[in-house]
Amino acid sequence: MTKTAVESYHAQFARDGFCLIKSLLTPDVAARLVADVAEDIHRVGMGKFLGQTNIHSSPGLEIYSHDYKLLNSFQWGLTGMVRDITGANLTPGFAYFQIYREGNRLFVHSDRASCEYSMSLTLAYSDDLPWDLTVSDDIVDHSAPDEGKKVAENHGDAKYHRLTTMPGDAVLYPGYGRRHGRLEPNPNRWSAHIFLHWVDADGPHAKYSFDEKVKNTKVDFDVPRA
């Protein structure tokens, strides 16, 4: 991404609190990424990854970066660019790959604190039908009891923005601070997405860096002599 593009997205994020990043990945790269993940899924069996949470209307397929290191590498590679766009000293939280089925809805919600800054990246639509993400204008007051746990079918009286993404497009937004969702059922037989989350290393949620997965990074290599 060019310096001019990053500066433009930075201005949008500072003004609106979110930005739509067009063609973060080229369509062929997005398609290849989906194909590589699909190959790995079919190798171990799809049933291992099926699950459902209270923000989804029906079960889907989820693979987390704690279990699938490819996602870690992908997120770490984007971190510098996302730092420049947000203007925050970001450190990775976690990421996950998601397959939504036809008719699935993503209820309006806000995320946990390790999702201070979030990216929703669309990789593929089986039927080439866009499925919009919506982001609220209102800031979630997490100091109010259970305010951050609210899950709803729509945004209620709050103003919100509708963001249309095609494969390779991404939306960058405060996952912890703003409610978001997909108001209509998925019109595709399936759609593939990656969700990536960061925290500000200088902010109140810094402890959620790497989703609190502590790892000893002191390593050594005893390389055999030829």
What H or E segment, with its residue span, contains residue 170? Answer: strand 170-173
With both helix axes pointing from N to C terminus, report the angle between 3-16 and 69-86 in degrees, rounded to the nearest 10: 80
Alpha-carbon separation of residue 23 from 16, 36, 121, 122 (angstroms):
20, 19, 10, 10
Tokens of residue 163, six digits: 């963001």
Q: pLDDT for 17-64, tens place per residue?
A: 999 999 999 999 999 999 999 998 888 766 556 555 667 777 778 889
pLDDT, position 48 = 59
- Please check whether residue 154 is in contact with residue 105, taking contact to mean a CB–CB distance below 8 angstroms: no
DSSP designation for 86: H
pLDDT in tens, 177-222: 999 999 999 999 999 999 999 999 999 999 999 888 767 778 888 8
Q: How far is CA 88 from the centre of its chain?
A: 17
Alpha-helical runs (H) found in the chain: 3-16, 27-44, 69-86
Q: Is 142 helix (H, G, I), strand (E, B) or coil?
A: coil
What are 100-130's pLDDT values in tens digits? Answer: 999 999 999 999 999 999 999 999 999 999 9
For residue 96, the one-letter residue type is Y
Protein fold of 3-208: Jelly Rolls (2.60.120)
For the chain, the first-to-last Cα distance in angstroms comes to 42
Give the whole-angstrom CA distance, residue 54 versus residue 66. 21
Question: Which pLDDT score is estimated for 98?
Answer: 93
